[in-house]
Structure 1
């Protein structure tokens, strides 16, 4: 064992003072979390841990041996007590007889799947957490604590042509090799036999899969995991090829500015290509590790082989799309042509893989588009159903690259045979897991940009679209306000899985950006940042607006008049015009919602510039609906006076209005209290007698961005509480 300060390739995180305050199950959760916190130890959602604990039987009160093991789904880094299945050890051992009986009849394939259905009969204390297929790997190892991890360093050995010999060289007699086989009941029996045949061993390398090790003390088990991983990592480090890694470099990385300019041009089209069946969100990676791979001489060969660890290709598909483009000699047009050709070939290859490997009862072929795209000089673009998933896809291919680098440094990298890969990808149990997932929300897989998101209606709209699955781009003239709204969304929904310690650039479910919508260059620069963050855009909601009151004589100066129209009319046009390129290059349907006002239909004293600009904005909605059809639906949201949280109602304007309408107030009252008084006054002018809130507007903006209004465009929707003066005439 190494001492805590000796580890170079993993993080030693065990804290005795904290661990000693925990009960046995909580210590298992703690051990799992600190293992999962280091991406070099195990990948997101991968690996599992267990502890065998004496617990009171709920019926008899007698102490019984119970195994707690990470259940199906979930992630070691974020796992809680509820993520662990609990099963009676005596009942798990009794399942061996059931399995052996079926095996004698020659139906092992069927019984492997059927055994998963037997685990609920072994559940302790009515625990609802579904058991993992790896349950037998833990149950049949005769030690109290077991860690099964997917460390890049160990998988590099497990995916190497001379893996068994390397295992012996690195570990001596402490660790033995077991050939690849699909996880399940039989593999658990194989591990049990390996321990019987090799008494005293501390761990097993599972060919093409990972590491499993054990101890009778949980801290000792944790430290053993780190030690075995550290030994493999140090061995690989000593044999690293340096400048000759992956055969050496064939291409040079483009300067970041040049690479970004190419991505601004290509990402919308690329997103449209991968989203032919369903929309995907992108993550771009351009760091040294991935660039070393994509620019190398061996990248084409290794990418074609695909990944080795089953956990990897379930996320990344059987292989990536490698675009054989020369960044030093070919232009963007050549890249686009090769992307189009490569995508078509990838789909053909995937269909051929499916047809060659499928069984009579295999599920139907899934989306044949790649999840990982590699471009020399530029880097990697990974795709997922949301930002979190695309980051995980990127993380997993990073793991695959690290595995290939290690394996190629000490031998020859070997991927899983295609049939084995297929049988895991299209495993009936995996299909059942997919079918159990809840239906996707209305704005899932959509990138929604809310302009004016720093306060008022825009902030409420950002919160509303995020609630139903949208990846939200919060835009405001005030950068701090935009970022504050994005931070609020991140606090609510989290960064998602696959973020900690990955080094993958990008963002979470929301990003905050600044833009001046009256300045085309500012809008274009903001949209470029959106492309790098998510890969495209689907829905745009503009809530930004300005009200400039006249002076005391009732006059509106020319510059204030111009400013009002610049923000309320031209700003919406510039946003639509700049987003148009992205929509058209994606080829995906989208929506645009412009916030106008019921004042557009009501003539009144004191707001001539504002009211006229909103009337123009109403017609802009209709014109853009024609211009952007049939790809983009354009509708208008027309609020009545929304006072609550509105940046257009600062304290001085509220006080001015209260004074104008002879409403009692005190200077000592909070601004929101004053706003509430004014809002209630305005409410009495409506038919419903209720104040209009930002949430009222957000709900309609959200609905107009969903398929609920898929056949509606060019319309203005008033959300005014019932102002009869604004009724259509």
Structure 2
């Protein structure tokens, strides 16, 4: 059985004795879990469990007791810490069998199955609050000290073959036993316990349509056994791989990358709008070789119809994806949209029929019948979810399903779970309870908010404000490095992101950075195309970018200053609004546009002729765009008074000039922040509230205008100026 670590080809051997030998027993379990979870070929996101039975000191009696530490519900092996593991008294957990046996027996779906999960908390060691996994009894009933239960693509491929029992013997040479599909729970664990007892020489069990479980007396040996099980299956599949004939060979050819992305940038907003008839979705595109080989293949329609097999998969991907019968070499964009629209209508009807056919008396209400995975020949796989993380994982899971089907078709014939079994997993009361326990979604959780000018000042503060409410934030700025700095700060707070991927699984997170010059339509369009590829569309656009050029500044003539001021402050907003509107129209979903103008638009004063005039024009642009973009999009303006803090419009020399102009005392040795505070406080005394105007004040108003709380307000200019009576409406 042993394979030398340098001989592994299909999994990563990551165990490091120098690290592991310094760890506590529970630390070793966490370490093993992390390195297993780090390899997507070993187990998928959130899938699988690891455990160790360790001797602990009972806090009540002071005696040594055996405690089962097992990854709890909802955790991910790759990122798990000790806090993600539940801990249970092993003797109490085993004693629960008497409780289970007291329930009326209806096969492995006895009335006690789901009730047992609620009993686990009575076995908690040290009041550990981590919810126990449904697989907890499996880890308890296998007597070995260390147990891994995993969902590797290669193993699930074997477990999804029509002759999975026979292949188990052939591939692992009798060292793995076989148990046919059973829904995870107490009875399934009992069957595995009996199988283990009857076959003391085996190292693991293949679980039909599910994955595998293996064990050992040492943590490192258990890890190596897991790798051996997976490597052995993967090698067998590789030996039988069909090469160019995989999935029956290619029926269609992939579109070139640029052409594919151009098609996607047009199609994704349309698809998002059609899918989002109940709630909005965020998209993730996968267009790598694995995805394209499958969607382009002869067998893709047949296999897609069968659906996924592993329960972990279709909890995300639904029982099956939507396959769009699109010919990338012959069909037009309009044909793609027509076929998608017809396909989604039929999918929903089929899903409703599936629910009504399989539902039980106590089944939860039917969920949204829209597909979460869409397959398009020549284009790739598109996953949809309530946020970027969910859509990415959905797409990742279907990628796993593709690999499972590839392996199964290479060595045998792929089979999926029976429809009723799939339904019982999808609408399992325990899964429904997990959904109900999830926290309420943040107000902007399903929204994509583009903040232009996010590199600093009001824009940066606005990006942070909408991110706080759950938005997916696009930090756009003329200076890409400044936008990236803002996006990096947001991802450090809200999660990891890795930019925009044109191919493969787009793994951007809650914030991305893009460069844009709003005076150039081609730059704005390219920016929106990238946003669409990253998330599937847009919802809100907030423009805080602007320019202030005082007479004589930057070596420009007055005419040049007018040209630049109007290009940025007026035409830029026009270009952004009209380009965004193309996406809003394609989606058919309500949107919001906020343009930052200025109270200077209503107040005539000396020294800012080009700026003030352009901002007055921007005020009217707000009203004109409100008319043009109605009724789908609300357009409003944010009119700040002088915001000194954090603004690039107030470099040190301008601040000093202003302080000198107003006879405010200052020292050349004062820091930039001190100088800005002095000027801000001077301006504050000219207002009714006597308080400095900050970027946070503006960001709060910008958020209000895109929050939906002002959904009946459009064409309005909201001043945030501390009460500057000169700017009152006349």
2:572 corresponds to = 571
- The 5-angstrom pairing of residues 370-381 of structure 1 reads 370-381=371-382
2:388 corresponds to = 387
State the secondary structure of the residue aligned to 2:178. strand
**Quick check: 1:464 aligned with 2:458?**
no
- The 5-angstrom pairing of residues 354-365 of structure 1 reads 354-365=355-366
Q: Summarize the Cα distance change of 1:517–1:496 in structure 2 as closer, same or farther, 3 Å threshold.
A: closer
1:304 corresponds to = 305
d(CA) in 2 for partners of 1:223 and 1:137? Answer: 20
Structure 1 residue 105: deviation in Å? 8.1
Q: Summarize the Cα distance change of 1:406–1:279 in structure 2 as closer, same or farther, 3 Å threshold.
A: same
Structure 1 residue 662: deviation in Å? 2.6
Structure 1 residue 54: deviation in Å? 0.7
Structure 1 residue 554: deviation in Å? 13
Structure 1 residue 249: deviation in Å? 0.5
Of 102-111 and 46-55, the range deviating more from structure 2: 102-111
- Is the Cα contact below 8 Å between 1:596 and 1:638 reproduced in 2? yes
Q: Summarize the Cα distance change of 1:576–1:105 in structure 2 as closer, same or farther, 3 Å threshold.
A: closer
Q: Summarize the Cα distance change of 1:108–1:368 in structure 2 as closer, same or farther, 3 Å threshold.
A: closer
d(CA) in 1 for partners of 2:410 and 2:571? Answer: 59
- Is the Cα contact below 8 Å between 1:36 and 1:43 reproduced in 2? yes
1:677 corresponds to = 678
State the secondary structure of the residue aligned to 1:109. coil
| Unpaired runs of at least 5, structure 1 | none
d(CA) in 2 for partners of 1:673 and 1:416? Answer: 68
1:285 corresponds to = 286
2:709 corresponds to = 708
- The 5-angstrom pairing of residues 162-561 of structure 1 reads 162-495=163-496, 504-551=505-552, 557-561=558-562
d(CA) in 1 for partners of 2:469 and 2:495? Answer: 15
Q: Summarize the Cα distance change of 1:552–1:705 in structure 2 as closer, same or farther, 3 Å threshold.
A: closer
Of 446-455 and 667-676, the range deviating more from structure 2: 667-676
State the secondary structure of the residue aligned to 2:142. coil
State the secondary structure of the residue aligned to 2:676. helix
Structure 1 residue 226: deviation in Å? 0.8
1:125 corresponds to = 126
- Is the Cα contact below 8 Å between 2:285 and 2:504 reproduced in 1? no
Deviations 1:395-445 (A, max 9, x none): 000000000000000000000111000001001111111111111001011
**Quick check: 1:79 aligned with 2:80?**
yes
Q: Summarize the Cα distance change of 1:544–1:248 in structure 2 as closer, same or farther, 3 Å threshold.
A: same
Of 545-554 and 615-624, the range deviating more from structure 2: 545-554
2:54 corresponds to = 53
Deviations 1:20-58 (A, max 9, x none): 222211211111111100000000011011111111111
1:608 corresponds to = 609
Of 654-663 and 360-369, the range deviating more from structure 2: 654-663
Structure 1 residue 108: deviation in Å? 4.6
- Is the Cα contact below 8 Å between 1:371 and 1:384 reproduced in 2? yes
Structure 1 residue 528: deviation in Å? 0.8
State the secondary structure of the residue aligned to 1:118. helix
- Is the Cα contact below 8 Å between 2:454 and 2:460 reproduced in 1? yes
Q: Summarize the Cα distance change of 1:553–1:639 in structure 2 as closer, same or farther, 3 Å threshold.
A: closer
State the secondary structure of the residue aligned to 2:222. helix
Structure 1 residue 491: deviation in Å? 1.4
Structure 1 residue 551: deviation in Å? 2.2
- Is the Cα contact below 8 Å between 2:49 and 2:150 reproduced in 1? yes
State the secondary structure of the residue aligned to 1:382. strand
State the secondary structure of the residue aligned to 2:87. strand
d(CA) in 2 for partners of 1:235 and 1:194? Answer: 24
Q: Summarize the Cα distance change of 1:683–1:666 in structure 2 as closer, same or farther, 3 Å threshold.
A: same
Deviations 1:550-598 (A, max 9, x none): 1289996112112101111111111111111110110111111111111
- The 5-angstrom pairing of residues 578-597 of structure 1 reads 578-597=579-598
Structure 1 residue 164: deviation in Å? 1.1
- The 5-angstrom pairing of residues 683-694 of structure 1 reads 683-694=684-695
d(CA) in 2 for partners of 1:409 and 1:107? Answer: 32
Of 575-584 and 100-109, the range deviating more from structure 2: 100-109
Of 441-450 and 544-553, the range deviating more from structure 2: 544-553
Q: Summarize the Cα distance change of 1:106–1:480 in structure 2 as closer, same or farther, 3 Å threshold.
A: closer
State the secondary structure of the residue aligned to 2:404. helix
Q: Could you tell me the TM-score, scaled by structure 1's length?
A: 0.97
1:5 corresponds to = 6
- Is the Cα contact below 8 Å between 2:73 and 2:131 reproduced in 1? yes
Root-mean-square deviation (Å):
1.9
State the secondary structure of the residue aligned to 1:588. coil
Structure 1 residue 460: deviation in Å? 0.8
| Unpaired runs of at least 5, structure 2 | none
- Is the Cα contact below 8 Å between 1:554 and 1:606 reproduced in 2? no
- Is the Cα contact below 8 Å between 1:388 and 1:496 reproduced in 2? no
Deviations 1:614-673 (A, max 9, x none): 111112112222221221111111111111111111122122212222333333433223
